[in-house]
Amino acid sequence: MKRNFLKLFLVSVLIGAAFSSCQRDKNDDDTSAATDNFFAENESDRIYDAVNSSAYENGIYKIEDADYALLPSCAEVYLDTISDSASPEKSITIVFDTTMSGGCLCSSWDNKYRRGIIKATWTGMYRDPGTVITITTHNYYVNDNKFDYTK
């Protein structure tokens, strides 16, 4: 009798635990982290393309099949490719027009407005092995969303 009671008790506990321990409280439909990550990765690619496009267009970066998006006419590119002992770094600075309402429309990219500065600095020949390229943004906005970037 004791044995039957013990078996019945153990079976009851196991069945109760199985039904009560696997309850889902709520659905997790918050996709804001994934959306933010997508935006950040997409804009990082745009910044990288903008720097390489500027380097290519200005004869700093030579490749046979250029597949970089051209910058819009409201973006200005400044080059500093003369290195000396005081400043061994060379640089490309891209300034998206900040005088226009909302910034510079990048219709050939993604139809978004950009304003602010992208600056790339490097030592050595651009894209040579061992050359370190640093890309940063300063007061850079995409459709009024600030984007801080350093790579």
With contact defined as beta carbons under 8 Å apart, do 44 and 151 qualify?
yes
For the range 39-44, what are the long-range contacts, defined as Cβ-Cβ under 8 Å and sequence gap of 24 or more?
39/145, 40/147, 42/110, 43/142, 43/147, 43/149, 44/149, 44/151
Joined together, the tokens standing for residue 96 give 């998206």
pLDDT of 33 higher than 80: yes
Model pLDDT for residues 12-22, shown as the tens digit of each residue: 666 766 666 55
Who has greater pLDDT, 95 or 98?
95
Model pLDDT for residues 42-74, shown as the tens digit of each residue: 888 888 878 877 777 766 655 555 555 578 888
pLDDT at 131: 84
57 φ, ψ (degrees, to nearest 5): -65, -25
pLDDT at 135: 92
pLDDT of 3 higher than 80: no
State whether residue 76 is helix, strand or coil: strand
Q: What angle do CA 102, 105, 111 make, to 5 degrees?
A: 115
Q: What is the 3-state secondary structure (H, E, C) of 86-140?
A: CCCCEEEEEEECCCCCCCEEECCCCCEEEEEEEEEEECCCCCCCCCCEEEEEEEE
